[in-house]
């Protein structure tokens, strides 16, 4: 039994001796690889921080863009309202001008308008009596178009 343990010990020492000859080279190679791996890890960590920083900058930029879009949307809505008010105001002024005309002249001009919708808006903004008198002098075909538009306009409100 002692002989067997002695042989095992010798075998172990022999392996240790053989591996110790190559061990310094292996350790140096492993240390170089570890240094290289650590450098790569540091690069990756630095790159990760840069990417996270860029993501944060992009998020802030996106928030600014969304705020600007909201402002633009509100400005467009205000512009649309202003445009509608101006259109209404324009028809009110035209209605006053038509009210000041002789009914025959007003009816003739309303008949000659290319767009019956415009004629209807003018009549809609005129006083009822003046509008009725002017309609007496509008061409019958145009009167039916205008009355249909006025009916739709009043029903929608």
In tens, the pLDDT along 83-140 reads 888 888 898 998 999 999 999 999 999 999 988 999 999 999 999 999 999 999 999 9
State the pTM of this model: 0.53
Asked if residue 115 lies in contact with residue 121, where contact means CB atoms within 8 angstroms, the answer is no
How far are the Cα atoms of 46, 98, 132 from residue 101, in angstroms, in the given order? 82, 5, 13
Helix/strand/coil percent split, the chain, to 5: 90, 0, 10
In tens, the pLDDT along 30-69 reads 677 888 888 988 999 999 999 999 999 999 999 999 999 9
Could you say which DSSP state residue 9 is in?
A: H
Query: Is the per-residue pLDDT at 28 higher than 90?
Result: no
CATH number among 1.10.3470, 3.30.460, 1.10.220, 3.30.160, domain 35-156: 1.10.220
Question: Interhelix angle for 128-135 vs 2-100, to 10°?
Answer: 70
Asked if residue 110 lies in contact with residue 134, where contact means CB atoms within 8 angstroms, the answer is yes
Closest CA to 109 of 85, 126, 86, 89: 126
Q: Which residue has the tokens 């019958």?
A: 140
pLDDT at 108: 92
Domain range list for the chain: 35-156
Is the backbone of residue 92 left (phi > 0), alpha (psi -120 to 50) or beta?
A: alpha
């Amino acid at each position: 039994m002692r002989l067997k343990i002695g042989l095992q010990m010798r075998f172990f020492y022999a392996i240790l001796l053989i591996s110790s000859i190559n061990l310094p080279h292996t350790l140096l190679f492993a240390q170089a690889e570890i240094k290289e791996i650590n450098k790569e890890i540091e690069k990756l960590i630095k790159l990760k921080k840069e990417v996270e920083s860029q993501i944060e900058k992009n998020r802030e930029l996106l928030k600014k863009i969304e705020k600007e879009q909201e402002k633009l949307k509100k400005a467009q809505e205000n512009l649309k309202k202003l445009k509608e008010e101006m259109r209404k105001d324009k028809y009110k002024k035209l209605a006053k001008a038509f009210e000041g005309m002789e009914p025959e002249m007003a009816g003739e001009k309303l008949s000659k308008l290319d767009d019956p919708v415009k004629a209807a808006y003018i009549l809609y903004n005129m006083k009822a009596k003046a509008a009725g008198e002017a309609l007496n002098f509008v061409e019958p075909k145009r009167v039916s178009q205008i009355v249909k538009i006025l009916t739709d306009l009043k029903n929608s409100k």
